[in-house]
């Protein structure tokens, strides 16, 4: 595919996706900030670390923080990564009080190409040991599509993603996230990410949504 055609395809897909999402998005606005690192131990094993902060009410109220540490095994095959992680979550409840959650999770990420488009499918099984609510098991599946084009000298690469959440204890689908973003190749060891997210969640039998702008940095060693 020629560069001009790739750029046209990327712009068309992003425009259609944005128009579709903004037609439905009407909830609170948030800001999410993420910083992380990935370290290769050897050709088969690696480890990851991530910190994330979230601000709601137009980005003015800090209400969520997590730290995540994991080990990744890449030696099974080139098209799959397996991971074991532990996440510590602090978040404000409906009364404005801070609560804690311990969240170990298992991950399997399938990777491949479809007509020069990079596609990944991450399955996550997590156990939520919550301080103020009943513990539960949750399954999450995130599909990411990176378009076959890199824009400008810092190689901006557009992507689309969708993630579904299923409460396994109750057997219900109760959350969905849709992403439109750009990954940024800042240097050989530093990559950035900027995205728009629309999240819909079901609580007490009612659906509500939020809109978020996210910024991320990840170091590679």
Over the stretch 94-109, which tens digit does the pLDDT of each residue have? 899 999 999 999 999 9
| Mean pLDDT to the nearest integer, 20-44 | 82
In which band, very low, low, confident or very high, does the pLDDT at 204 lie, cut at 50, 70 and 90?
Answer: confident
Which CA distances in Å does 141 have to 31, 36, 50, 201? 23, 21, 19, 15
Q: Which residues of 3-31 are buried (b: 16+ CB within 10 A; e: fewer)?
A: eeebeebbeeebeebeeebeeebebeebb
Q: What torsion, rounded to 10 degrees, do the Cα atoms 31, 217, 155, 25 define?
A: -20
Q: Which domain holds residue 7?
A: 3-220
| 58 membership: H or E segment, kind and range | none
Confidence (pLDDT) at 22: 45
How crowded is the C-beta side of 7, counted as CA atoms within 13 Å?
Answer: 8
Number of domains making up the chain: 1
Q: Residue 14 above 80 pLDDT?
A: no
12 φ/ψ angles, rounded to the nearest 5 degrees: -65, -50
Q: What's the pLDDT score for residue 78?
A: 94
CATH number of the CATH domain containing 194 = 2.40.160
pTM value? 0.86
pLDDT classification of 10: cutoffs 50, 70, 90: very low
pLDDT digits (tens, 9 = 90+) for 119-137: 999 999 999 999 989 999 9
CB-based burial label for 55 (10 Å; 0-12, 13-18, 19+): middle
Q: Tell me the percentage of the chain whose pLDDT exceeds 90.
A: 78
């Amino acid at each position: 595919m020629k560069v001009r055609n790739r750029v046209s395809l990327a712009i068309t897909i992003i425009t259609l996706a944005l128009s579709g999402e903004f037609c439905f998005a009407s909830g609170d606005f948030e800001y999410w900030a993420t910083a992380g690192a990935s370290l290769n131990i050897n050709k088969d094993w690696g480890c990851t670390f991530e910190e994330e902060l979230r601000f709601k009410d137009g980005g003015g109220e800090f209400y969520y923080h997590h730290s995540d540490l994991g080990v990744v095994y890449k030696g099974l095959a080139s098209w799959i990564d397996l991971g074991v992680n532990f996440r510590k979550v602090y978040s404000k409840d409906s009364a404005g009080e801070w609560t804690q959650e311990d969240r170990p999770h298992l991950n399997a990420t399938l990777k491949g190409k479809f007509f020069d488009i990079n596609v990944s499918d991450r399955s996550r099984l997590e156990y939520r040991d919550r301080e103020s609510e009943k513990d539960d098991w949750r399954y999450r599946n995130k599909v990411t599509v990176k378009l076959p084009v890199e824009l400008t000298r810092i190689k901006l690469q557009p992507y689309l993603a969708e993630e579904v959440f299923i409460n396994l204890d109750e057997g219900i689908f109760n959350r969905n996230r849709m992403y439109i973003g750009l990954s940024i190749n800042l240097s050989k060891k530093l990559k950035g990410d900027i995205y728009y997210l629309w999240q819909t969640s079901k609580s007490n039998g009612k659906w509500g949504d939020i809109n978020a702008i996210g910024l991320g940095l990840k170091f590679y060693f």
